[in-house]
């Protein structure tokens, strides 16, 4: 992680730095595209390999995965591709990042209502979501980890409820992928979307979209292009026979520079093992929580059992959070964020205990 030479970087829940592996892969793309274009192997075989890596990360078949330019685009594919009837509703949390709100609000004109479970002291208990499900609920959509609190949803439990109630299950996974294991099969996830620019240590604009194979017929491609169909290279024969894998959502040419870079990071993270990464992040964030509490801050993030994540949010009753964040950046080259009226710190596995201790030391006391 070249960023460590410049910063104590602990804002992976914001926009993360590129890993050295991502940067090297993008460099390789530049070399190939500059000097060879399509004159030899071509640039797309790498995209196939990256899809396979994504399949390993999610525990699904690579044909259930394709690329999107960001989380919002993947969620919009779901919102705009399903058939709804007037009076249907969608259930979500009241503290979602807007990427998982606006695509659903946009269905209002089609008579689809969005129901939101409120946060309670940094948590959105599962029961609150489940209580909102009724016989007109078509889909539940949640972030795997909430951006403002770090609250981790019990995806396996929610997926089971959705399956039992005959409701579709969509996940915004950007705050987990690359940090906390996600298994779409075990968690009964139907659709998942995540850009690569947070815990995956990839660039902005190259994300992953998963659609469970059995649902490919149900989710109509809402944005169609030449790559959406079978035999896409048979340019002179027009036919709208959609591909029978997730690439039916592709439309046209790829953001290959971004996808190559994403692949560099994905390969690294899969090699390291996301479970091992999570164990390390958990240890670092436990240390952080202990330190900020000792300094007199109130930790909002739930740290109990399976509710913890890589995000630690905390507040001070007396101090100005925005000022603390900019002070840390200017004086100590320490990068953290302020969100929803809380200080938000999100270290990744490569951060060190010393960096955590320095941050704690540099936070103003009470
Ligand atoms: C939970 C969540 N979803 C999505 C995003 C970003 O959305 P997109 O990838 O569409 O830019 C963020 C970024 O902060 C986020 O925290």
What pLDDT is recorded for position 366?
Answer: 80
Residue nearest to atom 11 of ligand 1 (CA): 70
CA of 41 to the centre of ligand 1 (A): 34
What pLDDT is recorded for position 305?
Answer: 82
What pLDDT is recorded for position 235?
Answer: 94
What ligand 1 atom has the least distance to the C-alpha of 100?
A: 3
Q: What is the pTM of this model?
A: 0.98
Residue 93 and residue 269: Cα distance in Å, rounded?
29
**Residue ranges in the chain whose pLDDT is less than 70:** none
Q: Is the CB of 172 under 6 A from ligand 1?
A: yes
What pLDDT is recorded for position 185?
Answer: 98
Determine which helix (DSSP H) or strand (DSSP E) holds 115, and give its type and residue range. Answer: strand 113-117
What pLDDT is recorded for position 297?
Answer: 97
What pLDDT is recorded for position 86?
Answer: 98
3-state class of 165 per DSSP?
helix
Q: Is the CB of 99 under 6 A from ligand 1?
A: yes
Token couple for 66: 């394709």
Q: Is the CB of 147 under 6 A from ligand 1?
A: yes
Residue nearest to atom 4 of ligand 1 (CA): 99
What ligand 1 atom has the least distance to the C-alpha of 96?
A: 1
What pLDDT is recorded for position 318?
Answer: 83
Residue 239 and residue 9: Cα distance in Å, rounded?
50
Average pLDDT, the chain: 97
3-state class of 127 per DSSP?
helix
What pLDDT is recorded for position 146?
Answer: 98
Q: Is the CB of 309 under 6 A from ligand 1?
A: no
Residue nearest to atom 5 of ligand 1 (CA): 99
What ligand 1 atom has the least distance to the C-alpha of 146?
A: 1
Residue 37 and residue 24: Cα distance in Å, rounded?
18
CA of 143 to the centre of ligand 1 (A): 9
What pLDDT is recorded for position 259?
Answer: 98
Residue 202 and residue 91: Cα distance in Å, rounded?
30
CA of 167 to the centre of ligand 1 (A): 24
Please enumerate in sequence order all residues whose Cβ is within 8 A of that of 105, keeping only pairs 6 or more positions apart, or say none: 114
pLDDT tens digits, 310-323:
999 999 988 899 99
Residue nearest to atom 14 of ligand 1 (CA): 14
């Amino acid at each position: 992680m070249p960023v460590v030479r410049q910063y104590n970087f602990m804002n992976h829940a914001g926009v993360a730095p590129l890993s050295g592996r991502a940067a090297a892969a993008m460099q390789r793309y530049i070399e190939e595209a500059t000097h060879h274009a399509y004159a030899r192997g071509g640039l797309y075989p790498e995209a196939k390999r990256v899809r396979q890596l994504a399949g390993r990360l999610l525990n699904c078949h690579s044909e259930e995965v394709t690329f999107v330019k960001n989380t919002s685009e993947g969620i919009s594919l779901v919102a705009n591709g399903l058939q709804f009837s007037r009076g249907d509703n969608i259930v979500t949390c009241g503290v979602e990042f807007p990427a998982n709100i606006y695509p659903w609000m946009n269905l209002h004109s089609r008579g689809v209502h969005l129901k939101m479970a409120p946060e309670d002291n940094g948590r959105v208990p599962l029961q609150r979501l489940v209580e909102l499900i009724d016989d007109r609920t078509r889909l539940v959509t949640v972030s795997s980890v909430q951006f403002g609190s770090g609250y981790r949803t019990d995806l396996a439990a929610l997926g089971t409820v959705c399956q039992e109630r005959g409701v579709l299950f969509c996940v915004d996974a950007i705050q987990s992928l690359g940090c906390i294991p996600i298994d779409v099969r075990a968690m009964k996830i139907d659709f998942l979307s995540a850009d690569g620019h947070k815990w995956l240590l990839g660039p902005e604009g190259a994300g992953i979209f998963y659609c469970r194979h059995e649902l490919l017929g149900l989710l109509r491609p809402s944005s169609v292009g030449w790559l959406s169909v079978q035999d896409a290279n048979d340019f002179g024969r027009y036919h709208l026979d959609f591909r029978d894998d997730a690439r039916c959502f592709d439309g046209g040419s790829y953001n290959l520079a971004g996808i190559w870079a994403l692949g560099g990071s994905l390969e690294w993270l899969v090699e390291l093992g996301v479970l091992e990464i999570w164990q390390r992040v958990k240890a670092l964030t436990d240390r952080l929580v202990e330190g900020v509490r000792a300094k007199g801050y109130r930790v909002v993030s739930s740290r109990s059992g399976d509710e913890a994540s890589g995000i630690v949010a905390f507040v001070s009753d007396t101090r100005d959070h925005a000022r603390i964040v900019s002070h840390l950046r200017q004086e100590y080259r320490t990068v953290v964020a302020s969100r929803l009226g809380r200080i938000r710190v999100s270290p990744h596995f490569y951060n060190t205990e010393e960096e955590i201790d320095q941050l704690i030391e540099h936070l103003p006391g009470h």
